[in-house]
A and B are shown apart, each in its own frame.
Chain A
Amino acid sequence: MRARRQIQPKGAEEGIALLISIFILLLISVVAIALIVSSGTESSLAGNYRSATGVYYAGLAGLEEARGRLLSKNPDAFMTTNASNFLPPPGTALNMGDTYYLINPIGGEAITPWDTSSTYPDNQFGVEFGPSSFAAPTNPSPTALSVWNRNPLQSLNLPGPLYKWVRINAVSEKSLGVDADADSLADSITPLYFDGVHFSNNPSAGPQVLELTALAVLPNGSQKLLQYLVAPTPLNLNFNAALTLDGGNMQPNVQFIVPNTSNFWVSGSDQFSAGSCNPGSGVVAAVGYTDPSDSNITSAIHSSPPGQDRRGNYTNLAAPTPDVVPVTVSANLQTVAGLNALVQTIKQNADVVINGNATQSSMPSGMSPTSPMTIVVNGDLTFNGWHSTGYGLLLVTGTFTFDPDATWNGIVLVIGIGELYSHQGGNGQFNGAVFLASTDPSRPPNFDFTSSSGSNGIYYSSCWIQAAMPVVPYKILSFHEISQ
């Protein structure tokens, strides 16, 4: 017995248990692996979609930063942060083939898109501009750091968008594959311009069209290439009179009350300098109205007795006096929808928007001849005893009660209620243009400077109009994602 116990192999007794254990473990492992693979694939699919969405918005963030920083009044404008080493001075067109990069290095990585051997090369430029003489980006190209690599954001260590670079360059007929001048030729060396409706090869047609191309790359390798075409689109504000009463076909007629004082003038002669701008020889009407049935408003102007004949005070020094005539305003000012759209556009680009009634104390202190501002009062505005001068574009949607102690240099738009009152004395005046329009068809615009009112009147000034014209953002002319 003793020998048998010694001879019996101990392992043979446990073999069946081992086999069963291994078998069961195998089964459980198969099931576990299947579940892991299943959930892993699902996570991967969800992750892919998240990456695709994330990298899309990262690229869009780069495009928007570049578009925003092209705007001169942006605190981080390229012309402020990179005044001498990036884009050419304002008003100077970009040359074909010149490339400028907004770069967003993360963690100190090198971003040199013009280098084809770099981590994030710009291979798209050659696709669009090759095989012409602009087959590759400028080497090296001027660069500007993103706001995420500049203070104050840099010091905050905030995780910014993961775009790598945004290229800024001019475009041509050939690069876009268009024939802007319908000459059946694809011009590769002439930059394109935007006339407000179409592209053009003519530099005088309008501002230059710029192409913004953004590359965004996520750490997992997801990447997208997005592209904008942008151009600044100035407000279509042309004034054909020093004072315009936009009445449309409203009934009753435009209200027009003017003082019987010798120092109140409405002049359509271009005058007053602003900065380096000098007035030209052009003239506009003194007072213009858009509805021919408003011609009787001239009766408000005193013509007698001879010593109080004020008709000569409404002049442009060329047309017969009183120069109160029908005028045509631009198409966007002829409809309520167009006027509302204009108000919205100005509001979106204003320096100051005051919602509710306001007084002179609401006027920003930063206004100056060299820094005119766009101010929107979404309500009534009342000046009273304000012995000061405003500069810029003033838009009032309610009633504007003016105290002629003040002067305004620039553009005054009273659109909405369309009422401009002045019932006090003073020697202030408007230099630029004044425009009144009502968006309520049953309520015509009302210009009411009572006979006791002071004020030296309204004087057309193209220089102040130009200085006060708001800077509007670069409009997106087109967008698309570039297939890679």
Chain B
Amino acid sequence: MNLALSDKRQPGFTLIELLVALGIFLVITGAAFSLLGTAQKRYQTESQVLTSFQEARLGLDQIVRDVNDAGYPPPTYFDSSKPLLSVSWPFAWSPGYPNTDCQIATGGGGNCTTATAGDTAPGDFDLIIETNPNPQDPSCIPDCPVQWIRYQLQNTTPLPTLMRVVSDKTNGDPDTSTAGQLVPFVQNIVNTQVVQNVTNPLVAQYQAAYPAIFPGGAPVPIFSYFCDNSFPPPQTVLCSGTVTDNSPEKIRDVMITLIVAAPLPDATTGQPRLVMLNGRGRRINPNH
């Protein structure tokens, strides 16, 4: 019965049915592929933002930890004959370190300068921390040297990069001793257009797209400093020219702001994508 029936010619779809079915199929698959394409672009953009976010988070966490540990071990540990085994000051500066202090000022002012034009340490985009991050290191016990940990923003292509170095403390100048050893730490920093007196034109596009982050197009310091204020309260105030003593010796808090751009603009809108992170490190060690 079945065999007999299967031998019979079966009617197929009509042309109209096929065209309609094909049309519906094309519309549905077209929509699906379009959605997939959009999703892929979105995924690509979000992946880049996420990578920037992750890099910035790790960077911020490291900076905060270094600031928290600044000044370890204090000079109370050692006599003056071993200055390289204890910190001179929690935050190093240039020039005149460690005997002649300088004054911090916002906007790159003050007289804490470095050998690099347009750069100050400590400054809005440069910070040198003095600490011993690993005093129990078996390879150096008992004379583990104190180290300089420096963060400096440098102009790189296409966007500026926050550099970092961990270098043994010397009797020399912290700026010149660490200057040639900096390696990339967090890339695509867009806090400022002008880095060490060099303008990065690409940063302007990012800043223009986010006027709320850069009010008036003003640069956003990566490092902002709050100094000890012995009398009267409050206990800490912004280190600026209005503070009687705004030298690096008095730094208590370091506010950190990282504005990081994704390497490529948003694939769907073409707009640049930014990630802005804030953190605070507080020095607990005595300042001398």
Contacts and interface: CB of A to CB of B under 8 A. Distances in A.
A209 to B, nearest CB: 9
Given A340-B230, A341-B230, A479-B69, A199 B43 contact: no
B133 to A, nearest CB: 7
B269 interface: no
A34 B144 CA distance: 47
Interface string B261-288: 0000000000000000000000011100
Interface in A430-484: 475-483
A204 B15 CA distance: 108
Contacts of A186: 142
A205 interface: no
B21 interface: yes
A413 B276 CA distance: 52
B133 A483 contact: yes
Contact of A177 (B60, B64, B71, B144): B144
Contacts, number: 125
Contacts of B25: 16, 20
Contacts of A331: none
B6 interface: yes
Contacts of A110: none
A341 B144 CA distance: 35
Interface string A156-178: 00000000000000000010111
A279 to B, nearest CB: 35
A341 B235 CA distance: 12
Interface string A36-47: 001001100110
B240 to A, nearest CB: 20
Interface string B135-164: 110000111100000000000000000000
Contacts of A482: 136
Interface in A351-373: none
Nearest to A19: B25
Given A176-B77, A482-B136, A38 B230 contact: no
Given A45-B57, A49-B61, A481 B77 contact: no
Contacts of B183: none
A20 B72 CA distance: 66
B69 A481 contact: yes
B135 to A, nearest CB: 6
A174 B135 CA distance: 12
B147 to A, nearest CB: 13
A4 B69 contact: no
Contact of A477 (B33, B69, B74, B141): B74
Interface in A167-213: 174, 176-180, 182, 186, 194, 197-199
Given A16-B21, A31-B35, A38-B46, A56 B5 contact: no
Interface in B4-33: 5-6, 8, 10, 21, 25, 28-29, 32-33
Interface stretch (B47-55, B122-130, B200-208): B47-55
A52 interface: yes
Contacts of A178: 73, 77-78, 85, 142
B231 A344 contact: yes
Given A20-B25, A344-B230, A177 B143 contact: yes
Given A49-B60, A477-B76, A483-B134, A27 B53 contact: no
Interface residues of A, number: 52
A22 B10 CA distance: 28
B47 A38 contact: yes
A107 B173 CA distance: 53
B81 interface: yes
Interface string B211-232: 0000000000000000000110
A199 B79 CA distance: 9
Nearest to A44: B54
Residue among B32, B74, B77, B134 with most chain A CB within 10 A? B77
B58 to A, nearest CB: 9
Contacts of A95: none
Nearest to B38: A31
A478 B144 contact: no
A478 B87 CA distance: 11
Contacts of B131: 480
A34 B43 contact: yes
A477 B36 contact: no
B73 A478 contact: yes
Contact of B36 (A7, A31, A46, A174): A31
A158 B10 CA distance: 79
Interface in B53-108: 53-54, 57, 60-61, 64-65, 68-69, 71-79, 81-82, 85
A3 B3 CA distance: 12
Given A31-B36, A479-B285, A49 B76 contact: no
B76 A41 contact: no
A45 B76 contact: no
A182 B284 CA distance: 27
B84 to A, nearest CB: 13
Interface in A390-438: none
Contacts of A23: 29, 32
Given A31-B36, A476-B286, 17 more contacts: A8-B10, A24-B32, A41-B50, A42-B50, A53-B64, A176-B77, A177-B135, A177-B141, A178-B73, A178-B85, A197-B76, A198-B76, A198-B77, A340-B230, A476-B285, A478-B76, A483-B134
14 contacts: A3-B5, A20-B28, A38-B50, A42-B53, A178-B77, A180-B79, A340-B230, A476-B286, A477-B76, A478-B73, A479-B284, A479-B285, A480-B285, A481-B68
